[in-house]
Amino acid sequence: MARRKRPYDYDLIVIGSGAGGGVAAHILARQGKKIAIVEEERIGGECPNWGCIPTKALLRSSELYREARESKRFGIRTATIGYNYHAVKNWVDIAVYRTGTAEGLRAYESEGIHIIRGKAYFISKREISVSDKRYSAKKFLIATGTRNFVPPIVGLTESGFLTHRSVFDLTQPPRSLFIIGGGPIGCEFAQAFSDFESGVVMAEVGERLIARENPEAGDLIGKIFRKRDVVVLTNTKVIKVERDRVKKIVYFEQNGKIHSVRVDNILLAAGMIPNTDLALENAKVAYNQHGIIVDETMRTTARNIYAAGDVAGPYQFTHMATYQSKIAAHNMYSRKKLVVDYHAVPRCVFTSPEVASVGYTDAQAQAFKIKFDTASVDIDIIGRANTSDDHEGFVKVSARKKDGVIIGATIVAPRAGEMIHELALAVNKGLTVADVANTIHAFPTWSEAIRVACHKLIKQ
């Protein structure tokens, strides 16, 4: 007599309810699979609750306040301009609510997805423990995201600091704020609080802000920040923090010299590290300091366990987590496997102006020994720049020499996050600069700068 297969509590247990886990859970629940999601914090994960959504809502308020102060040049009377930060925080909460976090639990339950509250630890490849209870599944999807990296700076923990989460607990913008880190998170909070007239100091260990993108982008954002009285310190290492009765004293090294500044608050934006504290060794899942190791199908070193989202890398974006979760869901139950393709991933920083990129940076293309041409156009030449009185920014496009296929682009412009998708489609589908340049672009729009940049490459 054939031996019966061991039954499992679930077909799939997803660890983490954000985009990396939730998308796959919804897809497979609709296919009739028995699904459970383990979540130790808020349903919906990092981005809608503490990351992208509240930050962008805060930026919307700060941008409006700055624009109102500067609107005299448009003929607008601004005799009394102010803000109510309590109302600003209420607006942020509304934005989070509208994004669907409040409906997340109901959406899962409506599809028969079981929610298990608590922190998961693997017992084996087929079993986990949550709050002293055991749950088994045929397959697992790990989507536990990331947490703040706390650098080993003397006195930092003792003196106290804010993170991208706790900064929303403030009842007023800080009078003075020291931001450790010049990446996207640091730049966005520098934008928001400088708009609210906080005195902001930024320290970036690298040569420029937003160091992973083409250097022109970080250089220009740094220049614009300085014009708005943000103190931007590059090639700078914070070495010690002290606290007196009133303020915090930050000591930093720049060009071999030690300096210090007294501020009300410190915001830590030095990067994120993956949440891999899951007893992964018990499930034979390999990981390192960058996260859980997956193959091109999103499967880990354990055949029945997949990972998606920030914990798997290589990008920490919600749209990347969504994409990877779809790939993982398909590959768990399909013989014909899908593989990930990261060559056309949009990357956005929501400063003012915004920064958006896709495809190869110049340094990456050179590292892969790709022969390419580039063309850059200042947005100042576009009619929309005159009607909006926004003149700082550019569109840069890179294309292969041999055939003009677009391989990368960088935009710094007021609506760069929206503009980049035309070029993302071009990179994804192998379109040429002629394809884009010969497409009619509406006048007057910011996207005209894309057409002009591509047209310049045709002439080369």
The CATH number that applies at residue 246 is 3.50.50.60
* Nearest of 257, 272, 253, 156 to residue 205 by alpha carbon: 253
Question: Over pLDDT 70: what percentage of the chain?
Answer: 98
pLDDT value at residue 79: 80
* Nearest of 403, 425, 399, 454 to residue 344 by alpha carbon: 425
Average pLDDT over residues 303-308: 98
Q: Quick one: 351 and 296 in the same domain?
A: no
Question: Does any domain span residue 171?
Answer: yes
Other C-beta atoms within 10 Å of 318: how many?
A: 19
pLDDT value at residue 309: 97
Question: Does any domain span residue 5?
Answer: no
pLDDT value at residue 459: 61
pLDDT value at residue 1: 44
Q: Are 229 and 425 in contact (CB under 8 A)?
A: no
Nearest 5°: phi and psi at 43?
A: -65, 135
Q: Quick one: 192 and 289 in the same domain?
A: no
DSSP string covering 326-393, please?
A: HHHHHHHH-SS------TT--EEE-SSSEEEEEE--HHHHHHTT--EEEEEEEGGGSHHHHHHT----
Last residue of a domain, one of 290, 310, 333: 333
Q: Quick one: 61 and 116 in the same domain?
A: yes
Q: Quick one: 121 and 18 in the same domain?
A: yes
Q: Quick one: 14 and 143 in the same domain?
A: yes
CA–centroid distance for 88 within its chain: 22
pLDDT value at residue 5: 59
| 7 has a pLDDT exceeding 90 | no
pLDDT value at residue 221: 98
Last residue of a domain, one of 225, 251, 270: 270
Q: Quick one: 382 and 436 in the same domain?
A: yes
Q: Quick one: 62 and 36 in the same domain?
A: yes
Q: Quick one: 297 and 394 in the same domain?
A: no
| 358 has a pLDDT exceeding 90 | yes
Q: Quick one: 308 and 389 in the same domain?
A: no
Tens of pLDDT, residues 88-111: 999 999 999 988 766 788 889 889
pLDDT value at residue 109: 87
Q: What is the CATH number of the domain that holds 379?
A: 3.30.390.30
Q: How far is CA 352 from CA 89, 358, 422, 423, 425, in A?
A: 20, 19, 20, 20, 24
Question: Does any domain span residue 56?
Answer: yes
Q: Are 363 and 208 in contact (CB under 8 A)?
A: no
* Nearest of 216, 315, 203 to residue 259 by alpha carbon: 203
Q: Quick one: 392 and 356 in the same domain?
A: yes
Average pLDDT over residues 137-164: 96
* Nearest of 119, 170, 180 to residue 149 by alpha carbon: 180
User: Which stretches of 36-155 are DSSP H helices?
Assistant: 46-49, 52-69, 85-96, 102-110
Query: Domain tally for the chain?
Result: 3
Q: Identify which of 77-81, 101-105, 141-145, 243-247 has the greatest average pLDDT.
A: 141-145
| 460 has a pLDDT exceeding 80 | no
Supply the range of the domain harboring residue 386.
347-459
pLDDT value at residue 78: 82
Average pLDDT over residues 372-393: 96
Question: Does any domain span residue 342?
Answer: no
Average pLDDT over residues 307-328: 96
Q: Quick one: 21 and 140 in the same domain?
A: yes
